[in-house]
């Protein structure tokens, strides 16, 4: 089989076979990817290694990095500063929503209104509590997608794009265009498919592409977002607020830009983050990670601090392929910004100050959760929305 033929198989969206369930535990022998159509190793030959990879003469890496696969890279130059098993193929969990956003942001204006289906409202795993039959703006759905990893929002956005199958196919196409040859997408939310895999290297490409889209950064860096009261034929729900589940990282590291977490039984913990210091912008990806003895955001901070201290004269261990994506003209650029877009844009200059005041900021989530009331078929149901970073659940 030629390399090109093998690539076609890898990049095709897999169709679940009858009776083949999604994985429920990590694969003890994750496969090795890392082959471009011409047979070369994307990013350079050193990135084919499965152990630790760091520049000659660099200081000792931080201890307590527990991810089986990770990468530290320069967002602007594409230089890979250090890595471990960067082309090993692992389940992504909800950090795959980074690719979901990269694929859908140029197509869905923030002001567009979406009516949520029963299927989307009932999506498995973490959810923001969308009400079936109610109307939400794309701005609101992307805020929920990125702040609390809402799978119901992922499904609603996919349906707004023409359906899950269409969105998954476009995500696979986007991955291919970015040079991500280790990735097969099966779900827009990151919930495990029976063949859904990615690599730290590929996720670095997706994060770099996401950072190039200003809307992604504006949604992801918000300290919190809120939904007004909603009503439909299925009932009604009161207004509520939800916090950014990555606010610990955004608060703790000067220059933090964005972060996104994920977890499933098969993926374990996953993480992507970006930060800027001293005129450099770096990105981090963790796959199959643990949250002990340090939480993921603390491991990321340690790795960022190590990377920002590296002399610029050190030779990198590899380089992300392809040009740095330029900010794209999105569908929303031709439409009037929604109320949510205007409020986010206005808040951007003061986000750092808002985070500094986060301990004093009033939030319905201050105690770790909020309560809303939904009326479904005349029955009152209490809906408990908790900070998802405190939950070990599928997300």
The one catalytic residue in 22, 68, 69, 94 is: 94
**What's the CA gap between 315 and 12, in Å, rounded?**
36
The one catalytic residue in 22, 68, 97, 218 is: 97
- DSSP class per residue in 78-119: -EEEEEESTTB-B--GGGGHHHHHHHHTTTS-TT-EEEPPHH
Task: Name the residue among 332, 73, 79, 339 with its Cα closest to residue 214.
Answer: 332
Task: Name the residue among 95, 294, 300 with its Cα closest to residue 190.
Answer: 95
Verify whether residue 94 is a known catalytic residue. Answer: yes
Residue 128 tokens, joined: 């923001």
**What's the CA gap between 57 and 314, in Å, rounded?**
8
**What's the CA gap between 382 and 372, in Å, rounded?**
6
Verify whether residue 97 is a known catalytic residue. Answer: yes
Give the number of other CB atoms < 10 A from CB of residue 29.
6
For residues 239 and 231, the answer to whether their CB atoms sit within 8 Å is no
**What's the CA gap between 251 and 320, in Å, rounded?**
28
Rounded to the nearest 10 degrees, how much is the dihedral formed by the CA atoms of 142, 144, 147, 152?
-110
The one catalytic residue in 22, 126, 149, 224 is: 149
Verify whether residue 343 is a known catalytic residue. Answer: no
- At 374, is the secondary structure helix, strand, or coil? strand
CA 43-210-281 angle, 5° bins? 65
Task: Name the residue among 265, 300, 376, 277 with its Cα closest to residue 25.
Answer: 265
Active-site positions? 94, 97, 149
């Amino acid at each position: 089989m030629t390399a090109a033929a093998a690539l076609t198989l890898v990049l095709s969206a897999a169709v679940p076979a009858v009776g083949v369930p999604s994985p429920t535990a990590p694969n003890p022998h994750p496969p090795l990817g890392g082959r471009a159509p011409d047979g070369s190793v994307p990013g350079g030959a050193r990135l084919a290694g499965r152990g630790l990879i760091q520049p000659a003469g660099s200081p000792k890496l931080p201890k307590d990095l527990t991810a089986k696969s990770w990468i530290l890279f320069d967002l602007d130059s594409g230089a890979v500063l250090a890595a471990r098993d960067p082309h090993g193929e692992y389940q992504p969990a909800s950090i795959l929503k980074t690719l979901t956003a990269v694929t859908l942001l140029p197509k869905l204006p923030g002001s567009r209104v979406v009516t949520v289906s029963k299927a989307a409202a009932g999506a498995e795993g973490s959810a923001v509590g969308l009400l079936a039959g109610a109307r939400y703006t794309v701005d609101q759905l992307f805020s929920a997608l990125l702040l609390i990893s809402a799978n119901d929002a992922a499904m609603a956005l996919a349906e707004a794009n023409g359906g899950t199958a269409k969105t998954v196919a476009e995500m696979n196409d986007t991955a291919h265009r970015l040079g991500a040859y280790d990735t097969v997408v099966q779900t827009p939310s990151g919930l495990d498919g029976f063949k859904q895999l990615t690599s730290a290297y590929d996720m670095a490409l997706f994060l770099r592409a996401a950072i190039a889209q200003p809307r992604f950064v504006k949604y992801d860096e918000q300290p919190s977002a809120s939904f007004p009261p909603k009503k439909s034929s299925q009932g009604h729900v009161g207004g509520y607020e939800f916090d950014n589940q990555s606010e610990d990282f955004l608060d703790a590291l000067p220059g933090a830009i964005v972060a996104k977490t994920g977890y499933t039984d098969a993926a374990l913990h996953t993480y992507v983050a970006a930060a800027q210091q001293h005129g450099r912008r770096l990105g981090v990806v963790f796959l199959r990670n643990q949250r002990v003895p340090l939480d993921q955001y603390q491991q990321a901070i340690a790795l960022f601090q190590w990377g920002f201290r590296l002399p610029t004269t050190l030779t990198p261990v590899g380089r992300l392929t392809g040009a740095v994506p330029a900010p794209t003209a999105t569908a929303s650029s031709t439409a009037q910004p929604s109320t949510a877009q205007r409020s986010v844009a206005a808040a951007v200059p003061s986000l750092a100050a808002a985070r500094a005041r986060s301990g004093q900021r009033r939030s319905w989530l201050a105690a770790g959760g909020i309560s809303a009331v939904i009326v479904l078929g005349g029955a009152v149901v209490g809906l408990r929305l908790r900070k998802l970073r405190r939950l070990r659940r599928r997300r």
